[in-house]
Amino acid sequence: MRPHAHPRRRAAARETWDVLTDPDKTAQWFGRWTGAGRVGEPIQVAMTHEEGESAMEMTVTECEAPRKLRLVSRETASWDISVELTEQPDGTKILFTHHDVPLDQLHEIGPGWEFYLDRFAGSVDKRPAREWEAYFPAQQEYYRALTAGN
């Protein structure tokens, strides 16, 4: 999946970083995590907005507070995701990347990340997020079109 930049958040990078990494705050938009949270060590993530079994183990592979976080999971789905925060005069730019997404799965994965990134931005800005149905299946055709001809 190509990098996905959200518009700048009015919050400073440190505040945005806290929403990204504090277990109580991540529970509001993605899922609560437990573990040491150190590079090379696993964390357990219990996703709070999924149906059924939603716990997964992820390993922190990069952590440069308050600038960059990279996590890898090798469970049922291989996820390699990174978030980079860049402080700018008018707030913080958020760059999210899900590395090496198989193109035939983009129409399934893309709308989910749109959902979670909007929830993340809403947590930073302290505003409500839209419901899941606004993303899936609503955005599937958009993501299919991105991979047409590949």
Please report where in the chains the tokens 């990347």 appear, as a residue.
97
132 close to 113: Cβ distance less than 8 angstroms = no
pLDDT tens profile 6-59? 666 788 999 999 999 999 999 999 999 999 999 999 999 998 887 766 789 999
Q: Is the pLDDT of residue 148 over 90?
A: no
**The pair of three-digit structure tokens given for residue 74, joined into one six-digit string:** 């090798």
Rounded to whole angstroms, how far apart are CA atoms 35 and 51?
23
Rounded to whole angstroms, how far apart are CA atoms 93 and 52?
33
123 close to 9: Cβ distance less than 8 angstroms = no
Distance of CA 148 to the CA centre of its chain: 25
Q: Is the pLDDT of residue 108 over 80?
A: yes
pTM, rounded to two decimals: 0.88
